[in-house]
Every structure is written in C-alpha cells, then in structure tokens.
Amino acid sequence: MSGRALVISIIVVAVLAAVPPFLNGYARSLLYITVLYVALAYAWNVISGYAGYLSFGQVTFFGLGAYTTAIAVIRAHLPWWEGALLGGLVSAALAVPLGYLMLRLRGAFFALGMLGMAQTLQVVANSWQLTGGGSGLFLPPGSNALPVYYWTLVIGLLGFATTLFIDRSAFGLRLQALREDEQVASTLGVHVTTTKVWAFVISAIMPGLLGGGYAWYLTYVEPVSAFATRIDLQAVAMTILGGIGTLWGPLIGGVLMSQVSEILAAQYPQAYLMIFGGLVVVLLVLLPRGIAPAISAALERRRARAAQVQR
Amino acid sequence: MSTPLLEVENIRRAFGGVHALDGVSLRVNQGEILCIIGPNGAGKTTLFNIISGVMRPSSGDVRFQGQSIVRWPPQRIAEAGIARTYQIARPFARLCVRDNVAVAALARERTLERARRAAQDVLESVGLASLADRPAGSLTLTQRKRLEVARALALRPKLLLLDEVMAGLTPTEIDAMAVFIEQLRERGIAAIGGVEHVMRVVMRISDRIAVLDFGKKIADGTPVEIADDPRVGEAYFGTQIDETGAGPSFPLKGRP
Amino acid sequence: MHAALFGQLTIDGLLVGGVYALSALGLNVIFGVMRIVNLAHGEFVIGAALLAAVLFERLHASVLVVLPLAFVLAFGLGALIQRAFLRRLPTDLASAEATSLLMTFGLSYFFVGAWLAFFSGNFRSVPYLTGAWTLGPFSIAQARLLAFVASGIVAALLAMLLRYTALGRAIRATSQNLQGALACGVDVERVRTLSFALGTAIAAASGCLLILIFTVNPETGANVTLASFAVIALGGLGNYAGTLVGAAVIGLAISFTGYFATAQVAQAAPYVLFILVLLLRPAGLLGKSGA
C-alpha cells in the first residue's frame, strides 16, 4: 500500500469505529450487515479467489460458529465473545480434516461437496436435540448490536490484513501458482496440500467467528438462516463484482451490494435472489475481472500520463 | 566408482493393459547429459512423470543420490534437486513471468523478495528478462519453452529433465537450446533430454544416448555406439519409416 | 428387518431411481459436450415440476400432457441461456471450468428467485394416480410406476437420438474428441447449444415426473442438483451406463433413509454417499490422470 492509501484506510477505519454509537438502529444495522458481508467475502476470496477452489458452502462454518456460540452461551454460560472465539476454533478444527478430504476434489466436485456439506449440517441442526431442532436456540435478549458490530469490524480488518499478507507473501504466490496448475506447482517444489489446507482453514475461521457474532446479534439461531447457502451467493456476487482474487475486490463489491441485499432480502426474497444471481451471470460476461482491476488500470494510466507531463 | 546421481531400475508402468514402460533401467552420473530418443508414445513422458513423482510406477525403483525416491511426493523430489519441464509448456498463465520463476526459486530462497531477485537473474540468463512483468499467458510458444527451462533452473537442480525441449523450435532456436544444454554440463548439472527429432543435435550434445521403443530400452551407449548399433538402425534408422512417412525420420547420414 | 419391508423399500427406491437417472442423464449430456457441470440443473427440474403442479391444480392437466410442453419450453430456455451467456465465457483453460461453475451457480439462484416470483414459496405436489397395485406382499404406487416407466421412455428416446440421428452422432463425437469433431467439420458451437438445450429439456421432463413422487418448492432445486450429481459421481462423469447404476444406488439410499429416518435426512443421503465414494476411490473420480 502506498502512503496515501494507508492514510485513507486509517481514516476510513477511524470513521467506521467512531460513528456507530451516533447512528439510529436502522443505519447501524445497515452498517453491520455491510461490514459482515465484506468480511465474509474476504474469507471466501482466500480459498476461492486465491487458491481457485470455488466453495459454495463456506456458510458451513458460519452456521457452525453461530451454533457453537449459542450452545456455549446457553449451556456453559460463557460470555458471547468467548463462545464466538470457540466457534472460530471449532471451524478451524473441522476445516483441517475436511480440507484434507475435500481439497482432493477439483472443480465441480469440490464446489458441490461444500454445498452438500452445508446442506448436511442444516439437516443435522434440524434433527438434533442439542441444537434445538427446527425451532433453533434462543439467546438472552439484550442490546447486542454495538459490541457485535465492533467484533465484526475487527474480524473484517483481520480479513483485509490477511489478504494483504497473502497478496504480498510467498504463501500467496504459492496459492496462486497451485490455482493455475497444481501439478506444475508441485514439481516446482510447492507443498500443494499443506498450502491449500491452510488457505481453507483461513477461509473457515473467519466465518466461524462472524457467525458467533451474528447469533448474538439476532439473539437466536435456527437451521435455515444459519446454513443458508445464499450467504455464499452474496459473498460470490460481491467478490466477483469487486474483483475475484484481488485485495480490494471484496471491499468494493461488499460495500456496493450490501445495501441492495439489506433492503431486498427480507421483503422481496425473489427479487433479491434474481438480482444477485443475475448479477453474477452478467458480470462474468461483461466485467469478468471485476471493478478493482479496472480501477488500478485507470490509476496506472493516470500515473503514466502524469509522469509524461513532468518530463 | 561413486554412486550414480540417478538410477532408474526396472521400471514398469501399464495403462489399462498397455505397457507404457516395460522394465526400463537407466543411470545418469553427475553432470552427464543423457538423451532419450524414441518416437511419440515410446514412453519418454511417462518416464519423466515417474522420476519427477507425478506418477507412480507399477513396479521398479528410482534412486537419486543413492536414496529411493519412488514413493516421494513431487515437491520433495523437486526440493531434493530434480527439476523438470513439460512437453507442452504449462505456464501459470495469470501470473507474471517473474513470479512464474519465483515460485520455483522459493524452494531455495527464504523470502519472496530474494526469490524474485533470483528469478530475475535466471530470466536474464535465458533471455526473458525484458518480459518479466508480462503475464505468462501472453508469451509466444518459444518464450513459453524458455520459461519452462527458467522455472526448472530456478530450483537450482542437480538433475534437469527436459521433456521434448526441441519440439516446435526453429533450427536457429534448436541450436541455441543445444548450446544451453551443453552449458549445463559446465555448471555441473546433469540432464535427461527426451527427444523425438533432431538427431544431429542429439549426437553433438549427448554424453550418452538411450533408445526407447514401445516402452522398452533397446540400446544405451555413447553417440558413436548408438549410431553403429544394428538394433537401433533396424528400429529407427531403417527405410520403412521414411517410405511410409508415418514416423519421424532421423537423418543418421548427416551426423558429425 | 422383514423381507417384505426390505422388498417394498427396494421397489420404491428403484422406481425413484429411474427419475433421478433421467435427471442425471440430462446433466451428463451437457457435461459430455461442454465439460460444464450445470449447477442450475436442479432449478430446471424444479421449475418444470412446479409448472406441472400448477397446471394440474388449475386445469387438471395430466403431467403426461405437460411433459412435452415443459420439454419444449426448457429446450428454448436452455438454448437462450447458452447463446446469451455461457457462450460468452472466456475459454482459456485455467479459468474456463471455474467461470462456468460461477455462472451456473449464479443462474441457479436467479431461477430460485424467478420460481419464487412465479410460483410462490408454497410446497406443491400432484395428487395424480394416487392408487397402488398389490403384487403379493408388495404394493406398487401407480404414480411411482408411471414416473419410472415414463422416465425409461424418455431415456430410451434420448438413447435413440444419440445413436441414430446426425445430431446424436455429432454430440457423441464432440463428447469423445473435440479436436476430432472439429476436424470432421462438426459445427461445435451449434452442437453445444443443442446439447445444453437438450440437457435442460431432459431436466424439465424429469421434473414433470419427479412431482408425481415428491412435494417440492422453489428452494428444493439444490437438493436435486446434488442428488443428480451424486448419481453421475457414483456412475462416472460422462458414463451413461454407470448413470443407471448410480441412480439405483441413490434411489435406494433415499428410500431406505426416508423410511428409517426422516424425509429430510433422506435428502442428505445422496450427499453422504457421494462423500463416502470419494473417500473410498477418490482417484477414480478426479476425472484427470497424469497420463
């Protein structure tokens, strides 16, 4: 990041941290949803954008985090944030064996394998007594919005920082190499399995932590919303809009689309699904690389022109 | 005599009943250049796949510096010092040329920065330095071939497996590649080259030549021995091939 | 378990399997020619199922009348989607599979939304031929038998089309060897469009028969996609004979888990089987070897 970008980022983060207490409930929830989806998009982007393993079921870990938190709060009387941390841990613990198993699959096998994983956990949550079956679990009500917002903001920032690291590190280069050609990467010395399982774990911890906050925010968890694969649809659409496999993509796409989702999701689910689904289809034809590369290309041109003028 | 760098022992590999390799044994000493000749389908690529670890043989052993590597994963073999190129160049298309090479250099360098610097040096040596920032997917066929070699060199291998490095190159480029391979010997890097055509060059650059035919090694020796071997002549330098035009022709008469 | 119960569940499972086989055949036609796994497949199945249900409610139209109609509509829709969107995807090797998956993923949700708008979120079924024949200790639901037989007829028609028509030969040639098909002068672009249209139409046909057995709403498409994909994962991608075996296994799994657990658990059964198979023989299912 250049000096100016760093300054702008710090200002943006300061505003995001300072403003919420002064907002009304609606604006605050809009801001929360935006930050939540940006963070989820960052998580999805690691395994799918950088490593090239399209997951249509990362919501598995979101739901797991939500349920872990609810159970920890209700059964063990832990504070919610400890429950959410536990949710992140449980997600990571599941992601290691699941990663070794699932990441042997490619393309549609992996994508549908993860989608099915989310569906299966939904069935489990629906049928198990511990998870409250179809009616779910209720948490003690309270004014939870602000702490959950800050929790989510911190995880979103961690997601950005992790992506920044991946974008600039040997680990990230190895990930991108195996995305392009796994066999060639392995004969050039890349430890393919370890590298991609790490990426998968990173992409699992974040939804786990975020799901815990979400449960506390809503004060209840139930199977359909906790394991809703449309959450993945949103992460996919936002990341593609912003730029898949890029540092800024999830942020740009998430900020642009969260408003649409929040306004439509509850009241007009059919329009919401058609817009997000249609957006993915149209973007892949018209702007497959997303907005972020287009912006950086424009900045590059301007810089080049400025340099020419100076000369 | 010291242990050879690489020993391939009685390798067999079948695909659905067809023997791609049927009991092949080879030795390569340190800094030695071995060319494996044989038509398309003789088993050269299968052999490279087995040595580099991307494929397991049905039976047989591969030893590198005296250690059996036949069950090792590809990345461990790469780290041990065996690098390979692919017959059809397979660049990481969306990465820039420098990063393509840096991926391999990371096996030797601790930081990404140092790996990129090492990559730049390798690119200088193969004449791709000016294209370092271009996406590898935009390279021409010849440039892709060179990138394959650059990536392999960035591993700083003791043994280089060059699968059909000459294929698709113009005569001038073939000569350049020949010079490059001969330079490997001076740097102490051993090489196995799989070659279908261009016997003229093979005769010049090889320390030894092995001939593969339908998965079997039918001859192994110095260029002179090979050229005089009647079995080789029968299988490869005979007149049938030239008459039918079905196979590659090896201009034996033109050898130096 | 009683032998009679075992036999009954086996019969039920195999009859359901017939419908899944048809759905999976549609997925396989598309995959064979285009190397695309169409994640919106289940939505086409469900769309036709809901259409059949609504037309039965309103007009008492038999599914056998709706089936050809849905087939033609879906054929047109499939051709349109291929021409307007899928054809425009970048074709460079590294990202072709990924972008096609992303696009069909987007399409699947687009259609979930569209069906919600058209048909509402209500669960629907078709109470047609609700009787059963008794055969010794077993009872054979007429609707299931009809669905099975009709699936068989559509599948047989498809097999004949693939074997005896020029289009069928072009589809098989393109599936086996793209370069060869190009060299023989096959208009591959046209074959792709027709294959996607045909695969979509077969999905619709299977939907009209599935509704005889199951109750569905617009959001159940993903389960159908998963089950159909599990069928071809078991039988082998692009392998038509294997599809039948895979479908029988999936049908039995659904029937037995549906009885011993709940209908909901039964929906997860194909997926669990799919994962088990991947565990046991992953190499066979990667569809890619180092040769």
Burial of residue A22, with CB atoms counted within 10 A of its CB: 0-12 exposed, 13-18 middle, 19 or more buried: exposed
Nearest by CB to B92, from A180, A187, A192: name it: A180
Q: What does the radius of gyration of chain B's CA atoms come to, in whole angstroms? A: 18
Distances, alpha carbon C279 to alpha carbons A102, B73, B128, C45, C231, in Å: 9, 20, 44, 29, 16
Subunit contact C92:B93, Cβ cutoff 8 A? yes
For the entire predicted model, the pTM comes to 0.89
Among chain A residues, CA nearest to B136: A180
Q: What is the pLDDT, as a whole number, of residue C96?
A: 79
Nearest by CB to A120, from C98, C105, C272: name it: C272
Subunit contact A170:B83, Cβ cutoff 8 A? no
pLDDT at A6 over 90: no
Q: To the nearest whole number, what is the mean pLDDT of chain C?
A: 86
Of the residues A167, A169, A188, A192, the best mutation for testing chain B's interface (the one with the most B CB atoms within 10 Å of its CB) is: A188
Q: What is the pLDDT, as a whole number, of residue C282?
A: 52
Distance from CA of A250 to the nearest CA of C (A): 16
Distance from CA of B23 to the nearest CA of A (A): 24
Fold that domain C9-280 belongs to in CATH: ABC transporter involved in vitamin B12 uptake, BtuC (1.10.3470)
Q: How many CB pairs under 8 A join A and B?
A: 74
- Helix axis angle for C221-235 and A107-127, nearest 10°, is 130
Nearest by CB to A180, from B73, B94, B155: name it: B94
Distance from CA of C274 to the nearest CA of A (A): 8
Percent share of chain C, pLDDT over 90: 38
CB A146 within 8 A of CB A24: no
Tokens representing residue A119 in the block: 């569906």
Region of poorest pLDDT, from B12-16, B53-57, B227-231:
B227-231
Among chain A residues, CA nearest to B108: A189
Of the residues C36, C83, C109, C110, the best mutation for testing chain A's interface (the one with the most A CB atoms within 10 Å of its CB) is: C109
CB C219 within 8 A of CB C121: yes
Q: Which residue has the higher pLDDT, B151 or C276?
A: B151
Sequence-distant (≥ 6) Cβ neighbours of residue C235 within 8 angstroms: C24, C241, C242, C243, C244, C245, C246, C247
Tokens representing residue A8 in the block: 């702008």
Phi, psi angles (nearest 5°) of residue B92: -75, 95
Q: What is the pLDDT, as a whole number, of residue B5?
A: 93
Subunit contact C233:A56, Cβ cutoff 8 A? no
pLDDT at B247 over 50: no
- The 3-class SS string of chain A reads CCHHHHHHHHHHHHHHHHCHHHCCHHHHHHHHHHHHHHHHHHHHHHHHHHCCCCCCCCHHHHHHHHHHHHHHHHHHCCCHHHHHHHHHHHHHHHHHHHHHHHCCCCHHHHHHHHHHHHHHHHHHHHHCCCCCHHHCEECCCCCCHHHHHHHHHHHHHHHHHHHHHHHHCHHHHHHHHHHHCHHHHHHCCCCHHHHHHHHHHHHHHHHHHHHHHHHHHHCEECHHHHCCCHHHHHHHHHHHHHCCCCCCHHHHHHHHHHHHHHHHHCCCHHHHHHHHHHHHHHHHHHCCCCHHHHHHHHHHHHHHHHHHHHC
Percent share of chain A, pLDDT over 70: 98
Q: What is the pLDDT, as a whole number, of residue C176?
A: 83
Of the residues C99, C110, C254, C279, the best mutation for testing chain A's interface (the one with the most A CB atoms within 10 Å of its CB) is: C110
pLDDT at B23 over 60: yes
Query: Residue B12 and residue B15: Cα distance in Å, rounded?
Result: 10
In chain B, residues with a C-beta closer than 8 Å to the C-beta of C94 are 93-94, 137
- Relative to beta strand C132-135, strand B216-221 is unpaired
Highest mean pLDDT among B75-84, B200-209, C27-36: B75-84
* Residue length of chain B: 256
Check CB contact of B95 with chain C, cutoff 8 Å.
no
Q: Which chains lie within 8 Å of chain B at 3 or more CB pairs, if any?
A: A, C
Provide mean pLDDT across the span B170-196: 87
Strands, DSSP E only, in C4-137?
A: 132-135
Distance from CA of B234 to the nearest CA of C (A): 29
> What order of strands is seen across the sheet that includes strand B159-163?
B82-84, B159-163, B190-195, B33-37, B208-213, B216-221
What are the tens digits of pLDDT across the range C77-132?
Answer: 999 999 999 888 876 655 778 888 999 999 999 999 999 999 988 999 888 878 88
Q: What is the pLDDT, as a whole number, of residue C242?
A: 81
Residue with tokens 């032998």: C3
Q: What is the pLDDT, as a whole number, of residue C281?
A: 60
* Residue length of chain C: 291
Nearest by CB to C290, from B55, B93, B94: name it: B55
Distances, alpha carbon A195 to alpha carbons A43, A46, B53, B75, C57, in Å: 16, 12, 18, 12, 55
Q: What is the pLDDT, as a whole number, of residue B254?
A: 33
Provide mean pLDDT across the span B213-224: 87
Among chain A residues, CA nearest to B156: A188
Distance from CA of C50 to the nearest CA of A (A): 16
**Where residue B63 falls among pLDDT bands split at 50, 70, 90?**
very high
Phi, psi angles (nearest 5°) of residue A230: -70, -15
Subunit contact B78:A189, Cβ cutoff 8 A? yes
Q: What is the pLDDT, as a whole number, of residue B243?
A: 35
Q: What is the pLDDT, as a whole number, of residue C276?
A: 78
Query: Residue A280 and residue B182: Cα distance in Å, rounded?
Result: 53
CB A167 within 8 A of CB B58: no
Check the CA dihedral B133-B135-B141-B144 and report its sign. Answer: positive
Subunit contact A180:B52, Cβ cutoff 8 A? no
Subunit contact A188:B83, Cβ cutoff 8 A? yes
Provide mean pLDDT across the span A204-231: 92
Q: What is the pLDDT, as a whole number, of residue A60?
A: 95
Q: What is the pLDDT, as a whole number, of residue B60?
A: 93
Query: Residue A44 and residue A162: Cα distance in Å, rounded?
Result: 12
Phi, psi angles (nearest 5°) of residue C239: -105, 110
Neighbours of A136 (CB within 10 A): 21
Q: How many CB pairs under 8 A join B and C?
A: 14
Question: Residue B129 has what DSSP assignment?
Answer: G
Alpha carbon C202 to its chain's center? 7
What are the tens digits of pLDDT across the range A76-109?
Answer: 999 999 999 999 999 999 999 999 989 988 888 8
SS3 C23: helix
Q: Which residue has the higher pLDDT, A33 or B41?
A: A33
Nearest by CB to B155, from A181, A184, A188: name it: A188
- Relative to beta strand B67-68, strand B82-84 is unpaired
Query: Residue C108 and residue A273: Cα distance in Å, rounded?
Result: 9
Check CB contact of B49 with chain C, cutoff 8 Å.
yes
Among chain A residues, CA nearest to C40: A277
In chain B, residues with a C-beta closer than 8 Å to the C-beta of A180 are 91-95
Subunit contact A273:C109, Cβ cutoff 8 A? yes
In chain C, residues with a C-beta closer than 8 Å to the C-beta of A97 are none
Subunit contact A105:C117, Cβ cutoff 8 A? no
Distances, alpha carbon A297 to alpha carbons A302, A303, C242, in Å: 9, 10, 49
What are the tens digits of pLDDT across the range C182-227?
Answer: 878 788 889 999 999 999 999 999 999 999 999 999 999 988 998 8
Among chain A residues, CA nearest to C234: A109
Q: What does the radius of gyration of chain C's CA atoms come to, in whole angstroms? A: 19
CB A253 within 8 A of CB A239: yes
Region of poorest pLDDT, from A304-308, B94-98, B189-193, B243-247:
B243-247
Map out the domains of chain C as residue ranges: 9-280
Provide mean pLDDT across the span B144-152: 93
Tokens representing residue B212 in the block: 């593969």
Query: Residue A261 and residue A254: Cα distance in Å, rounded?
Result: 10
Distance from CA of C264 to the nearest CA of B (A): 42
Subunit contact C226:A180, Cβ cutoff 8 A? no
**Where residue B124 falls among pLDDT bands split at 50, 70, 90?**
very high
Query: Residue A47 and residue A52: Cα distance in Å, rounded?
Result: 6
Distance from CA of C271 to the nearest CA of A (A): 6
**Where residue C279 falls among pLDDT bands split at 50, 70, 90?**
low
What are the tens digits of pLDDT across the range A53-69?
Answer: 999 999 999 999 999 99
Among chain B residues, CA nearest to C291: B46
**Where residue C289 falls among pLDDT bands split at 50, 70, 90?**
very low
Q: What is the pLDDT, as a whole number, of residue B237?
A: 55
Query: Residue C5 and residue C257: Cα distance in Å, rounded?
Result: 13
Provide mean pLDDT across the span C42-53: 96
SS3 C78: helix
Q: What does the radius of gyration of chain A's CA atoms come to, in whole angstroms? A: 20
Of the residues B50, B51, B56, B75, the best mutation for testing chain A's interface (the one with the most A CB atoms within 10 Å of its CB) is: B75
Bridge partners, residue B61, by sequence? B9
Q: What is the pLDDT, as a whole number, of residue B173?
A: 86
pLDDT at B235 over 80: no
Distance from CA of A182 to the nearest CA of B (A): 10
Q: Which residue has the higher pLDDT, B100 or C178?
A: B100
Residue with tokens 């820039």: B96
Provide mean pLDDT across the span C65-69: 94
Phi, psi angles (nearest 5°) of residue A100: -60, -35
Q: Which residue has the higher pLDDT, A266 or C46?
A: C46
Nearest by CB to B155, from A186, A189, A192: name it: A189
CB B8 within 8 A of CB B47: yes
Nearest by CB to B75, from A169, A173, A189: name it: A189
Of the residues A55, A60, A112, the best mutation for testing chain C's interface (the one with the most C CB atoms within 10 Å of its CB) is: A112
- Helix axis angle for C240-260 and C263-280, nearest 10°, is 130
In chain B, residues with a C-beta closer than 8 Å to the C-beta of A191 are 75
CB A13 within 8 A of CB A7: no
Q: What is the pLDDT, as a whole number, of residue A160?
A: 93
Subunit contact B54:C95, Cβ cutoff 8 A? no
**Where residue B251 falls among pLDDT bands split at 50, 70, 90?**
very low
Sequence-distant (≥ 6) Cβ neighbours of residue A74 within 8 angstroms: A137, A139
Q: What is the pLDDT, as a whole number, of residue A63?
A: 96
Distances, alpha carbon B171 to alpha carbons A125, A148, B2, B175, in Å: 68, 68, 38, 6
SS3 C194: helix
What part of B 139-198 touches A (C-beta under 8 Å)?
151-152, 154-155
Q: What is the pLDDT, as a whole number, of residue B239?
A: 38
Q: To the nearest whole number, what is the mean pLDDT of chain A?
A: 90
Distance from CA of C243 to the nearest CA of B (A): 22
Q: What is the pLDDT, as a whole number, of residue C91?
A: 66
Which helix (DSSP H) or strand (DSSP E) does residue B216 occupy? strand B216-221
What are the tens digits of pLDDT across the range A168-203?
Answer: 999 999 999 999 999 999 999 999 999 999 999 999
Tokens representing residue C137 in the block: 């200790």
Question: Residue C88 has what DSSP assignment?
Answer: G
SS3 B102: helix
